Structure 1
Amino acid sequence: MSAKTPYQNQQVCSLRGECLLLLSRQLRLVDRGGPCAGRVEILDQGSWGTICDDGWDLDDARVVCRQLGCGEALEATRSSSFGAGSGPIWLGNVKCTGKESHVWRCPSWGWGKHYCHHSEDAGVICSGFVRLAGGDGPCSGRVEVHSGEAWTPVSDGNFTLPTAQVICAELGCGKAVSVLGQVPFRESDGLVWAEEFRCEGEEPKLWWCPRVPCPGGTCHHSGAVQVVCSVYTDVRLLTNGSSQCEGQVEVNISGRWRALCASHWSLANANVVCRQLGCGVAISTPVGAEGGDQLWKARFHCSGAESFLWKCPVTALGVPDCSHGNRASVICSGNQTQVLPQCDHFVSEPAGSAASEESAPYCSDSRQLRLVDGGGPCAGRVEILDQGSWGTICDDGWDLDDARVVCRQLGCGEALNATGSAHFGAGSGPIWLDDLNCAGNESQVWRCPSRRWGQHDCRHKEDAGVICSEFLALRMVSEDQQCAGWLEVFYNGTWGSVCRSPMDDVTVSIICSQLGCGDSGSVNTSVGLREGSRPRWVDSIQCRKTDTSLWQCPSGPWKYSSCSPKEEAYISCAGRRPKSCPAAAPCADREKLRLRGGDSECSGRVEVWHSGSWGTVCDDSWSLAEAEVVCQQLGCGQALEAVRAATFSPGNGSIWLDEVRCGGRESSLWDCAAEPWGHSDCKHEEDAGVRCSGELSPALFPVLLGTRTTSNSLPGIFSLPGVLCLILGALLFLVLVILATQLLRWRAERRALSSYEDALAEAVYEELDYVLTKKEGLGSPDQRTHVPAENYDDAEEVPVPGTPPSSQGSEEEVPPEEEDGVRSSQTGSSLNFSREAADPGEGEESLWLLQGKKGDAGCDDVELSALETSSVTFL
């Protein structure tokens, strides 16, 4: 026997046994976009009215949620949080215990009595009776219903498509496009919903569907049931109003047929449509007729292998108006048994040829193209499906012309970058193409000139990749919050802001969920004007519940200035929390950067703090400019070397940054361009590092920095051997300077000594002249007074004991110690000359005195200062 529905349970008996029939009284929640959240309204006497929020609390909300079959009460809202209602205010000062069957059975001031305005209307947020969990968003996943205490999965036993249609409609998720059984239950599930739903498909809510207990109280199943809802529910090809295997493409979107715009409509998309309709394969996608205002502008990015069009990735964000108003069209081969001639892929299209699949039919082609491991359908490693295997393209000769063909073939806009060396990771399987040489206007990449199919001399470390202009990424920018900040989107190779009008709760919920910040949030309009200038990429975003990411949400077209600076969106998500900084909040960029594995605090592997953990930086594009920013940010002076290939040993954890591109003057590594956080195709063997000048002796800074170049075009000039050569060169230079200084000083001393010797010789000659004059009778023998020559004040006669007077003319021998004619006193630094040695009669013996040929000939070694203070005594 089926359980009673709300329609059957409308009789309520009073405590006095009086039964009142309340068939005319109804309850609903409005202005939240769903049946289980919104402003509380009651229909009575033909008028919808509200409830005053005086005394409104979670117990009152529990009664409302249970009465509506909306599961558990999550929140009791006040002050018209869902907008002010109109009409009467039926209840005021409601005081429910939480156990009542109807909200109007709770104690209150009485029906129609209140002291409120509509600015005080009450609301509730309920968990809902049914939900889809574990899928991509609220419109796909495992079917679960709320028992009033917990969410319980529904078994796949006797679950029907009409029941799935009711669920999708109730959740505001369009139509059910698939029902899957045998989905594993959660490990924590101890219970399975013990009823089977028997919906006919027209019920507005699952709560109102008939249901029967499972036989024996146990439902037979092979697992949980999963439902996928979509706004795209059907597709057809129309020619002159009749549906067949060729014509204009129309898609049923939330129950309404809409024609597709021809912009970015590819042969891969057409193949999926033909297969879905049982019409074989696509032959061509000719230009369709002029379309009207009903054209649907969303872009499908099918690889060609999908079984349904709505399983293809789709983007609607920023899609421009249909430029030519053309409808997408397809010509299919017909039934599945028809055989078409195979393409000759080894004959390339002529250069400058305008031939393409859009303009003329051509042979059947089962090959498919996709981009993988790039974070979206428009960036990644290029892969081709052929003969049942996905293979790659070698990067020999790979350039922007080749990338243009790939991006256009996939409907991904213009090519921004042609990457090589397995930039997006190494693929597997065959390498289908090598030495590709596209002109850029070919319709398919395998129609470009190349080696023959499957012939190559490469390995997967040389796999080619592309980044197209339609590649998208999302982030929040904040100094101290992880799930609140300025919303930015990466488009056309540049980060730019998003405009906030007219973002609603659904849009904000999708944004927060996509960023891993909870499933709800709000737009903050009280923040001040943001500093700096940047693109303001997109405005008028209006997401639907069926959208699983922001990229699927319709919006205005991409523009560099879509709104004024004061309209940039600042989002605060429910999962808002402070950034998990290694240091105390607020986080400074310097505190989120460190060096590890080096031989000092200013050298090592670069590590950054993000999402609560330390991670590394990939060395792709790593050069001295990036190293300069790191060194300056850490206060480590200037960069000497940009180290690559995990020179300081591989790190661990996440590789947070890749393709970092700095100008060299940024104040923080966070100000440099880079791939989105966590989007990397690297391994830790490619971790980047730096050597900064702060690790060296300050005395060497002027020498090293004087030879440092700031050119970014030579990032490898400061390798370790280069730095060692600079240091050795600096030391050699200092040695040469010291030697040159010593040489100049030695030469100056030689010149000073030479001048002194000349003066000394002149003084000796004057004394000799005086002695000779006396011997020749020019003076009296009794004259003992000697008047020295000018500038000879220091010379004086010192009598020598044992020496006879000169008047006696003694013929005695000269003592041996005086034969040399000179005695050198080490203590007095004086030179004593013998008169006999100065006698001209000894002729030849006098020459050595003047020429220094005998005795102590070390005059050159005497210091100039000693010579200047010495005295000469003649005997």
Structure 2
Amino acid sequence: IALGSILIFTILILPIYEHGSRQLRLVDGGGPCAGRVEIRDQGSWGTICDYRWDLKDARVVCRQLGCGKALQATVSSSFGAGSGPIWLDNLWCTGKESHVWRCSSRGWGKHYCDHSQDAGVICSGFVRLAGGDGPCSGRVEVHSGEAWTPVSDGNFTLPTAQVICAELGCGKAVSVLGQVPFRESDGQVWAEEFRCEGEEPKLWWCPRVPCPGGTCHHSGAVQVACSVYTDIRLMKNGTSSCEGQVEMNISGRWRAFCASHWSLANANVVCRQLGCGVAISTPNGAEGSDQLWKARFHCSGTESFLWKCPVTALGVPDCSHGNTASVICSGNQTQVLSQCNDSVSEPAGFATSEESAPYCSDSRQLRLVDGGGPCAGRVEILAQGSWGTICDDGWDLDDARVVCRQLGCGEALNATGSAHFGAGSGPIWLDDLNCAGNESQVWRCPSRGWGQHDCRHKEDAGVICSEFLALRMVSEDQQCAGWLEVFYNGTWGSVCRSPMDDVTVSIICSQLGCGDSGTLSSSVALREGSRPRWVDLIQCRKTDTSLWQCPSDPWKYSSCSSKEEAYISCAGRRPKSCPTAAPCTDREKLRLRGGDSECSGRVEVWHSGSWGTVCDDSWSLAEAEVVCQQLGCGQALEALRAATFGPGNGSIWLDEVRCGGRESSLWDCAAEPWGQSNCKHEEDAGVRCSGTRTTSNPLPGVFSLPGVLCLILGALLFLVLVILVTQLLRWRAERRDLSSHEDALAEAVYEELDDFVTRKEGLLGSPDQRTDVPAENYDDAEEVLVPGAPPASQRSEEKVFPEENGARSPQKGSSLNFSREVADLGEGEESPWLLQGKKGDPGYDDVELSALGTPLVTFP
């Protein structure tokens, strides 16, 4: 009884013990749903041997962890070798077990392998953020085990968003948006509501309730944005208010900002975000400490949250003066501020401290656009609700210096004119600017007057500041593989490879449009030549969407040795060549993808060795017509926008394309500079053409209406010529046949004439004989018939006209029909030669034979 009780107790309690004490995790895979499989038991984390490890085993692991579907079962320590005990070996799961340690095995803790054979898995994950700028923002989707399904915005809470961001390693949730259009046409959503409290380790563990009736109320999918930058506050005397030191919660820790590069535009965003009106000034705070956050924000001043501003952390130096950034806000958004005086500019000698400067109520803001970053581009000012430009009359480095300093972009490298970064739009706010170079704001410089100018947008001014950054790969024969270089302070220099991890390499490849993964190569030969080696110790986070946001050491001309320069090969590497064969034609550099035929789809163009898309800004039937004609696809039926054929990938090569509709190539149309756009792939342009693609380019001019008429007339003339030549050859052949027939006939005529004369003489000499009885040897004389002669019953007396000078008579019965009609003689017809003999002279003295090959007589 006691033994039975123990057995029953063991059976009932063992599953509870296993579930409660043993733990499962995936490590070194870059997330909670991929990595080396590890089990915690008896206070130690151990591994599983990969002998007989397959997808069924991985399926149990992924389900147990709430990580969706098993995508891959890895072996041979693909995620690195573990340590500690090896708990399981020779595992054999059916795929339906609730825990991996419930599968059949060699026995707990029994094995015949080492850590070089540790098993791993890659799961789909239970939750993801899709369609955003990276893995840390986008539409919330969960995996059903078969497919990804969006979550509705009905009853979705901020604590649930916080759990998702924490699970994905993306920091804190900074925004939750609803009413995002669904990806699927049927609008299918997850049939449960999540009721997270915010402290759960993963969304899988949050309480869930079915939607009433199995259908969740919603107005769209929910979208979440996570960030390492979350809450912000202004601290003065230990309390939060609308004035004080700027502090931000960064990865769960409050950090003060460095005053260097902190601008009034940044301060204005902070004041608005806190409901404190607008920024009045940015005085320097007290001495800072080593805990100052050094990242630089580049706000235009109109953003709703500070973390929506562009930010650069790469190469940012230590806070040189140790000062913390502070802000004084107006305190109340309804407070009346001093109005801006738009009629005149400040005099040249005007000087004031930024701390005491009143801030205008119309909140003028400054930005640089179409330059590829926040620190280069066309200068634009926001005033009276409109973005406008500055005319380049008198524009020089002193003016550009004020702009770069005001934006926190370092020193001015170049002051560009003549709309170098493209023509802007809207008003032209300033002209004949004459800055001294030390003004705090560009609109404080002397000028013609606010809004007064005699320019057009083709004269828009621009700047390039020292903090402008650009990225490229350098290789002789490869695209998306090569030495990594960054443009800083006006010069290209290399990047140091230590300690770049997979996240950093992935962000670099994605930023260059070369796929979402890559490898760091160490076996390439050293580079020749000298160049700056700008930056070292780059450590990107999952929340970073570009290399510029990744923290690193400060900029230095020689940050590492030449042996440590980074060479990266991205997943999208390919040879530098044309898309088909060299040399490329414009037609070969254009294609349609994602459509239901070869003449419909998303427009993609080949540039700089890769395929990219076209933004739908200004996209119309005129541009679509050029695309369809260039591809030989007939006329344009539709110019489609908003990624109708699905979003593309890679670069967005063209934006603001403006065609007249008659250009022979999309390359002939006006557009923004290649690779410069403010679009996402959700704005990819597409076309639908009328025809099917031809195999060769139509020849211009030939298939127009005059060209078609010329082809028809030419064909007719050729046909007439063929007929004439055929008739000529036939006439010559018939002449040859006729000649042979006439030779034979002439001999027969001479022979019969001789015989006829002989008979005539015999009749004259013997009057007893009847003249109408033919001679004994002349029974076939009546068979001879002249061509064209009428029947005997219709004949009348006809006169014979001998031919003159050997020419044929032009009357009927010409020699062309002679040979054919001789063959059709009737046996009962009387010979015309005999008739002539009866009516003519008995001696036939007037009979004149024609030349050889010519008929003797013709009948009309």
TM-score range, shorter chain: 0.5 to 0.7
* 1:597–1:648 Cα contact (<8 Å) kept: yes
1:519 CA displacement: 2.4
1:660 CA displacement: 21
* 2:782–2:830 Cα contact (<8 Å) kept: no
1:46 CA displacement: 2.4
CA distance in 2, matches of 1:33, 1:409: 39
1:329 CA displacement: 0.7
Q: Give the match's secondary structure for 2:272.
A: helix
1:752–1:358: structure 2 CA closer, same or farther, 3 Å change rule? Answer: farther
* 1:180–1:226 Cα contact (<8 Å) kept: yes
Instruction: Give the stretch that moved more between structures: 676-685 or 350-359.
Output: 676-685
1:242 CA displacement: 1.4
Q: Which residue of 2 aligns with 1:14?
A: none
Instruction: Give the stretch that moved more between structures: 122-131 or 615-624.
Output: 615-624
1:598–1:728: structure 2 CA closer, same or farther, 3 Å change rule? Answer: farther
For residues 249-287 of structure 1, give each alpha carbon's deviation from its aligned partner in whole angstroms, at most 9, with x where no partner exists.
000112110000011000000111111112221111111
Q: Give the match's secondary structure for 1:769.
A: helix
1:667 CA displacement: 32
For residues 825-852 of structure 1, give each alpha carbon's deviation from its aligned partner in whole angstroms, at most 9, with x where no partner exists.
9999999999999999999999999999
For residues 180-218 of structure 1, give each alpha carbon's deviation from its aligned partner in whole angstroms, at most 9, with x where no partner exists.
111000145663111111111111100000111111211
CA distance in 2, matches of 1:524, 1:145: 36
CA distance in 2, matches of 1:198, 1:490: 48
1:363 CA displacement: 5.8
1:363–1:726: structure 2 CA closer, same or farther, 3 Å change rule? Answer: farther
* 1:423–1:465 Cα contact (<8 Å) kept: yes
Q: Give the match's secondary structure for 1:628.
A: helix
Q: Which residue of 1 aligns with 2:824?
A: 839
* 1:473–1:676 Cα contact (<8 Å) kept: no
1:150–1:243: structure 2 CA closer, same or farther, 3 Å change rule? Answer: same
Q: Which of 788, 813, 818 is matched with 2:774 structurally? A: 788
* 2:27–2:38 Cα contact (<8 Å) kept: yes
1:71–1:428: structure 2 CA closer, same or farther, 3 Å change rule? Answer: same
Q: Which residue of 2 aligns with 1:827?
A: 812
Q: Give the match's secondary structure for 1:348.
A: coil
1:355 CA displacement: 3.0
Superposition pairs of residues 436-585 of structure 1, within 5 angstroms: 436-582=433-579
1:639–1:810: structure 2 CA closer, same or farther, 3 Å change rule? Answer: closer
1:175–1:718: structure 2 CA closer, same or farther, 3 Å change rule? Answer: same
CA distance in 2, matches of 1:165, 1:27: 23
Instruction: Give the stretch that moved more between structures: 853-862 or 641-650.
Output: 853-862
Instruction: Give the stretch that moved more between structures: 547-556 or 858-867.
Output: 858-867
* 1:497–1:569 Cα contact (<8 Å) kept: yes
How high is the TM-score relative to the length of structure 1?
Answer: 0.65
Count of residue pairs the alignment pairs up: 839
Instruction: Give the stretch that moved more between structures: 98-107 or 279-288.
Output: 98-107
1:546 CA displacement: 1.1
CA distance in 2, matches of 1:549, 1:237: 28
CA distance in 1, matches of 2:621, 2:552: 41
Instruction: Give the stretch that moved more between structures: 476-485 or 223-232.
Output: 476-485
1:56 CA displacement: 2.7
Instruction: Give the stretch that moved more between structures: 202-211 or 562-571.
Output: 562-571
The alignment-based identity, stated in percent, is 91
1:609 CA displacement: 6.8
1:226 CA displacement: 0.4
Q: Which residue of 2 aligns with 1:282?
A: 279
* 2:806–2:850 Cα contact (<8 Å) kept: no
1:331 CA displacement: 1.1
Q: Which of 664, 674, 690 is matched with 2:661 structurally? A: 664
1:623 CA displacement: 34
1:309–1:681: structure 2 CA closer, same or farther, 3 Å change rule? Answer: closer
For residues 124-150 of structure 1, give each alpha carbon's deviation from its aligned partner in whole angstroms, at most 9, with x where no partner exists.
222211000001111110000011111
Are residue 378 (structure 1) and residue 375 (structure 2) matched? Answer: yes
1:145–1:552: structure 2 CA closer, same or farther, 3 Å change rule? Answer: same
Q: Give the match's secondary structure for 2:164.
A: helix
* 2:783–2:830 Cα contact (<8 Å) kept: no
Instruction: Give the stretch that moved more between structures: 165-174 or 182-191.
Output: 182-191
* 1:795–1:871 Cα contact (<8 Å) kept: no
1:223 CA displacement: 0.6
1:439–1:218: structure 2 CA closer, same or farther, 3 Å change rule? Answer: same
CA distance in 1, matches of 2:142, 2:241: 41
* 1:506–1:545 Cα contact (<8 Å) kept: yes
Instruction: Give the stretch that moved more between structures: 596-605 or 785-794.
Output: 785-794
Instruction: Give the stretch that moved more between structures: 761-770 or 659-668.
Output: 761-770
* 2:37–2:47 Cα contact (<8 Å) kept: yes
For residues 544-590 of structure 1, give each alpha carbon's deviation from its aligned partner in whole angstroms, at most 9, with x where no partner exists.
11111111111111112111111111222333444453577999999
1:472 CA displacement: 1.5
1:427–1:396: structure 2 CA closer, same or farther, 3 Å change rule? Answer: same
1:408–1:855: structure 2 CA closer, same or farther, 3 Å change rule? Answer: farther
* 2:179–2:219 Cα contact (<8 Å) kept: yes
1:874–1:29: structure 2 CA closer, same or farther, 3 Å change rule? Answer: closer
1:413 CA displacement: 1.1
For residues 236-258 of structure 1, give each alpha carbon's deviation from its aligned partner in whole angstroms, at most 9, with x where no partner exists.
11112111111110001121100
1:806 CA displacement: 107
1:81–1:815: structure 2 CA closer, same or farther, 3 Å change rule? Answer: closer
1:771–1:517: structure 2 CA closer, same or farther, 3 Å change rule? Answer: closer
CA distance in 2, matches of 1:469, 1:642: 41
Q: Give the match's secondary structure for 1:831.
A: helix
Q: Which of 587, 592, 597 is matched with 1:595 structurally? A: 592
CA distance in 2, matches of 1:102, 1:636: 58
1:379–1:621: structure 2 CA closer, same or farther, 3 Å change rule? Answer: farther
* 1:833–1:874 Cα contact (<8 Å) kept: no
1:858 CA displacement: 84
* 1:829–1:871 Cα contact (<8 Å) kept: no
For residues 760-779 of structure 1, give each alpha carbon's deviation from its aligned partner in whole angstroms, at most 9, with x where no partner exists.
99999999999999999999
1:671 CA displacement: 26
1:113–1:829: structure 2 CA closer, same or farther, 3 Å change rule? Answer: closer
* 2:40–2:46 Cα contact (<8 Å) kept: yes
Q: Which residue of 1 aligns with 2:393?
A: 396
1:367–1:827: structure 2 CA closer, same or farther, 3 Å change rule? Answer: same
* 1:63–1:98 Cα contact (<8 Å) kept: yes
1:164 CA displacement: 0.7
Are residue 674 (structure 1) and residue 677 (structure 2) matched? Answer: no
How high is the TM-score relative to the length of structure 2?
Answer: 0.66
1:496 CA displacement: 1.8
1:827–1:237: structure 2 CA closer, same or farther, 3 Å change rule? Answer: same
CA distance in 2, matches of 1:644, 1:713: 28
CA distance in 2, matches of 1:836, 1:575: 87
Q: Which residue of 1 aligns with 2:256?
A: 259
1:643–1:121: structure 2 CA closer, same or farther, 3 Å change rule? Answer: closer
1:482 CA displacement: 2.8
1:843–1:607: structure 2 CA closer, same or farther, 3 Å change rule? Answer: same
1:73–1:842: structure 2 CA closer, same or farther, 3 Å change rule? Answer: closer
* 1:282–1:364 Cα contact (<8 Å) kept: no
CA distance in 2, matches of 1:177, 1:294: 23
1:337 CA displacement: 2.6
1:651–1:252: structure 2 CA closer, same or farther, 3 Å change rule? Answer: closer
* 2:53–2:119 Cα contact (<8 Å) kept: yes
For residues 330-351 of structure 1, give each alpha carbon's deviation from its aligned partner in whole angstroms, at most 9, with x where no partner exists.
1112222322223446665565
Q: Which residue of 2 aligns with 1:851?
A: 836
* 2:789–2:859 Cα contact (<8 Å) kept: no
CA distance in 2, matches of 1:261, 1:802: 123
* 1:178–1:229 Cα contact (<8 Å) kept: yes
1:538–1:70: structure 2 CA closer, same or farther, 3 Å change rule? Answer: same
* 1:249–1:260 Cα contact (<8 Å) kept: yes
Indicate the RMSD between aligned Cα atoms, in angstroms. Answer: 15.1
1:643 CA displacement: 35
CA distance in 2, matches of 1:857, 1:304: 135
* 1:820–1:855 Cα contact (<8 Å) kept: no
Gaps of 5+ in 2: 1-20
Instruction: Give the stretch that moved more between structures: 536-545 or 710-719.
Output: 710-719
Q: Which residue of 1 aligns with 2:90?
A: 93
1:784–1:333: structure 2 CA closer, same or farther, 3 Å change rule? Answer: farther
Instruction: Give the stretch that moved more between structures: 470-479 or 254-263.
Output: 470-479
1:723–1:29: structure 2 CA closer, same or farther, 3 Å change rule? Answer: same
* 2:654–2:672 Cα contact (<8 Å) kept: yes
* 2:738–2:819 Cα contact (<8 Å) kept: no
Q: Which residue of 2 aligns with 1:726?
A: 711
* 1:92–1:114 Cα contact (<8 Å) kept: yes
Are residue 759 (structure 1) and residue 756 (structure 2) matched? Answer: no
